[in-house]
Structure 1
Amino acid sequence: MPLELEFSKTFDFTIKVQKTIGIPCCFEPYPDTLRAKLKANFGFITSFAILAYCVLGQLINVVLLLIGHRKTEEAMEEIAIQIVCTGFCITGLIKMYGLAYHRNLLTSIIDDFRVMWAEELLSSADRQICDKVLRPTMAIAAFAAIGNIIMVSAFNFLPVAEMIFNHWQTGKWHRLQPYVIWFPFDGTGGWWYYLVYTFEVYGGYVVAVSNVGTNCIFCLLCAHLTMQLKLLNRSLEDVIQPEEANKRRLVQRDAREMLPKLIRRHQSLLSCKETMDAVFSLTFFLNFAASTIIMCVQGFLMLIADFYVVTKIALFMGCCLVEIFFLCYYGDEVLENSTQLAQAVYNCRWYHQDAGDCKFSKNLIPIILRAQRPMKLMAWKFWPITINTFGMILNASWSYFTLLRTVVL
């Protein structure tokens, strides 16, 4: 028999992973003073600066390749790889900035869900709904975090295996780096090499955690919102209990008192949805747009690169697809359960009332009308975060890929 789930435990693993790059706990708002803010976010600022330089260094390297200042035998392949890596890093940078900029809003959403948790999860049936929704999401968040960290670690340390293999074949050591980042000095010479390699390894880890950490927070918040919608659906359906003592068609006093509370809870969930849009909307719009281009370029790389690069790119593409799918899946869960509110209200035995007392039924009409406009999380009012959008992103990536293949090859 699993232990009773606690609210703080639902975010526990994600918070621990984010803390490894200095992201403060999402339960805590910013301190009041600037000195306290800098002290609490010193690790975050350091990680952000490292990732920002990685982005700048990769962009400079792309420019040097395009103008012909840096010569390479496989210029097209390297430019494509740089676009993929730079896009992934820029996405991580945007997500880190979004978490920092909206820290207090994120804390307020979590506080709202904590209050609802304490008020609503009273019966064993409520706990069953909670476990059914949240435990799988917690497992998926842990799996996604570990999977992304493993994927980036493979990128970080594959050059070591490649150097050992090349030495075994040629008898010479040829120093390689995980990523091609511009530095104002020779990053492969002397003791600088080990510092640069460590810097790039940590930069890769930061971008993995920043990407997956933001995604996991969003999915967990969507799961909490979905759970509350399921509880609200059930409460609305059961707001009128069938009378046992007598068979008069009369709405019970408890139902009249309960309905305003359920309406306020629905309004609270709508407010949480709006706040989630404010925190994640622009971030995920840029994420979806970047992922469309990244997956297009990844497909192109699979056509022109050797087996070694294709293997790395296929692993990278798999992680991108899983990431976008889960974001869209949990957004779709919110949409689906909010759509069911209208049916739940209709099923609430509203017909158990006196013929002359229609006030209760009339109060249900605005709820039904509002529920017919479901909660739809948006990516900057451009893309609804639903399964249909996942299909649209894949279609767009395929279209760009076929165009690129036709023009270049």
Structure 2
Amino acid sequence: MCESKTPFRTFRDFMYLPEVFYKTIGEELYEHRSNNKLRSFIYKLYFYFGFLNFNFYVFGEVVFFSKALGSRETILQATGVAPCMFFSFMANFKQIALAVHKHTLREHFDKLELLFPLTRTQQMAYRLQHYEHIMRRVMTIFAFLCLTYTSTFSFYPAIKAFVNYYFLNAEHYERSFGFYVWFPFNATATAGIYWTTYCSMGHAAYLAGVAFLSADLLIIASATQLVMHFDYMSEQLHNFKVKDVDVKKNMEHIKFLNNLVMYHAECLDISEQLNSIFSFSLLLNFLAASLNICFTGFQVTTSTAEDIIKYCIFLAASLVQVFLICYYGDKLITASNGVGEAAFNQDWFGMSNKYKRTLLLIIARSQKPAALKAPTLPPISFVTYMRVISWSYQFFALLRTTYTTN
């Protein structure tokens, strides 16, 4: 592609989607760089109000779930609220992880920004457009599924009631909600109370979806950049040709390799920093995803046709979310291993011992590749995805057997 026709991208352009999504719930990723303190203060008020409102409904879900477990007649409602409840828990955990590691996250972004290719020529050499194109498509599909899930649950009751009342001559406008929630008051007593509660619940559902989604978008954006850097290193090692071994050329070769060693070490440090921010939430994510897939699958096998559609969307979002994290974890391991393989496959036989020792350092560091990690689990890859699916099926089989035998 012609360099003049290649669109120039900044680091903020690359991080655009997660940054915009977070802003819609009042979270500013670059608050420390903002010159408008009043706007930042308004964002923060909106954010705190949103999470207080959201956790009011989370509490209502927990109470409803506890009450519904009490009898067989309401057990289906309990399994119906369980996926939404675990989804809400994960949205909270991810936001807490972001708050606890806010300074580390800012440092992480700063390091990635320092490594980001700054000119069109560099961006072409790194194939930035290729990586960003794939990343944007993945993010768009995942965002669509997450927001479709929350929108379907939120708006379906109102749309159904509207059609029944105004077009199918129903006797009264049915006041119902998309989520099973316990209220400490009569939420359907009057139209004013109902619609206020309905809108409040809709905002809570949107906030949960964005908080859940955007944390994963940050992981995807960071992993994509790390994969790009590791692939670039591999390409540099592969394309670097040793022409002769005179002293001057040998020093140039060693300088090239020393720069690559520091570049490689920096990327490995950034990957460890990414894990320090998200590792625990990733573990909870996989555990919650197993339960979500289990309960959602159970609902699909026992619900009415209209509920099956809603829960199928939820099931698809859960499966895709786990798959994407495992996919990028696998890509990161492969790209990181590729650096060591490219170093070993170099034409290093006629080089000096100092060059060989430096090359050996890259190979040795590549033996422990960069990876997404969660406590107690091996590095995240497609093997992890299969493990989560296995857990989900075991939970589902147990739940299904227990329900049918009672």
Instruction: Say whether the fold is shared (TM-score over 0.5).
Output: yes
1:11 to 8, 12, 15: 15
Cα distance in 2 between the residues matched to 1:103 and 1:247: 49
Specify whether residues 36 and 275 from structure 1 end up closer, same or farther in structure 2 by C-alpha distance, changes over 3 A only: farther
User: What's 1:362 paired with?
Assistant: 357
Would you say the 8 A contact 1:27–1:110 is kept in 2?
A: no
Would you say the 8 A contact 1:30–1:37 is kept in 2?
A: no
User: What's 1:386 paired with?
Assistant: 381
Deviations 1:296-315 (A, max 9, x none): 11111122211111111011
Deviations 1:168-213 (A, max 9, x none): 2642222111212222210011121111101111011001111111
After the TM superposition, which residues 200-349 of structure 1 pair with which residues of structure 2 at under 5 Å, given as runs? 200-239=201-240, 241-243=241-243, 252-349=250-347
Would you say the 8 A contact 2:104–2:273 is kept in 1?
A: yes
How far off is 1:253 after superposition? 2.1
Identity %, equivalent residues: 22
2:159 to 143, 158, 161: 161
Would you say the 8 A contact 2:291–2:392 is kept in 1?
A: yes
Cα distance in 2 between the residues matched to 1:302 and 1:169: 30
How far off is 1:76 after superposition? 1.6
Specify whether residues 122 and 2 from structure 1 end up closer, same or farther in structure 2 by C-alpha distance, changes over 3 A only: closer
Cα distance in 2 between the residues matched to 1:35 and 1:198: 27
User: What's 2:172 paired with?
Assistant: 172
How far off is 1:109 after superposition? 1.2
How far off is 1:28 after superposition? 4.1
Specify whether residues 278 and 35 from structure 1 end up closer, same or farther in structure 2 by C-alpha distance, changes over 3 A only: farther
1:145 is aligned with what amino acid? A
Would you say the 8 A contact 2:91–2:211 is kept in 1?
A: yes
SS at match of 2:324: helix
Cα distance in 1 between the residues matched to 2:119 and 2:6: 20
Specify whether residues 398 and 66 from structure 1 end up closer, same or farther in structure 2 by C-alpha distance, changes over 3 A only: closer
How far off is 1:247 after superposition? 8.2
How far off is 1:250 after superposition? 8.8
SS at match of 2:9: coil
Deviations 1:257-286 (A, max 9, x none): 122211111111111011100111011111
Cα distance in 2 between the residues matched to 1:64 and 1:258: 66
State the TM-score, normalized to the length of structure 1.
0.89
Would you say the 8 A contact 1:57–1:182 is kept in 2?
A: yes
How far off is 1:142 after superposition? 2.7
User: What's 2:26 paired with?
Assistant: 22
After the TM superposition, which residues 118-129 of structure 1 pair with which residues of structure 2 at under 5 Å, given as runs? 118=117, 122-123=121-122, 125-127=124-126, 129=127
SS at match of 2:116: helix
How far off is 1:119 after superposition? 6.6
Specify whether residues 186 and 337 from structure 1 end up closer, same or farther in structure 2 by C-alpha distance, changes over 3 A only: same
Specify whether residues 236 and 381 from structure 1 end up closer, same or farther in structure 2 by C-alpha distance, changes over 3 A only: farther
Specify whether residues 387 and 287 from structure 1 end up closer, same or farther in structure 2 by C-alpha distance, changes over 3 A only: same
Specify whether residues 6 and 35 from structure 1 end up closer, same or farther in structure 2 by C-alpha distance, changes over 3 A only: closer
Specify whether residues 303 and 169 from structure 1 end up closer, same or farther in structure 2 by C-alpha distance, changes over 3 A only: farther
Would you say the 8 A contact 1:345–1:368 is kept in 2?
A: yes
2:383 is aligned with what amino acid? N
Cα distance in 2 between the residues matched to 1:121 and 1:266: 22
How far off is 1:352 after superposition? 3.4
1:382 is aligned with what amino acid? L
Report the aligned-residue RMSD: 2.5
State the TM-score, normalized to the length of structure 2.
0.90
User: What's 1:400 paired with?
Assistant: 395
Cα distance in 2 between the residues matched to 1:29 and 1:341: 35
2:138 is aligned with what amino acid? I
- Structure 1: segments with no counterpart, 5+ residues: none
Would you say the 8 A contact 1:14–1:142 is kept in 2?
A: no
Specify whether residues 256 and 28 from structure 1 end up closer, same or farther in structure 2 by C-alpha distance, changes over 3 A only: farther
Specify whether residues 371 and 97 from structure 1 end up closer, same or farther in structure 2 by C-alpha distance, changes over 3 A only: same
Cα distance in 1 between the residues matched to 2:39 and 2:148: 34
2:55 is aligned with what amino acid? A
SS at match of 1:252: helix
Specify whether residues 300 and 40 from structure 1 end up closer, same or farther in structure 2 by C-alpha distance, changes over 3 A only: closer
Cα distance in 2 between the residues matched to 1:359 and 1:247: 12
Specify whether residues 51 and 58 from structure 1 end up closer, same or farther in structure 2 by C-alpha distance, changes over 3 A only: same
Specify whether residues 270 and 381 from structure 1 end up closer, same or farther in structure 2 by C-alpha distance, changes over 3 A only: farther
SS at match of 1:352: coil
How far off is 1:19 after superposition? 0.6
User: What's 2:109 paired with?
Assistant: 110
Cα distance in 1 between the residues matched to 2:402 and 2:350: 69
1:262 is aligned with what amino acid? L
- Size of the aligned set, in residue pairs, is 395
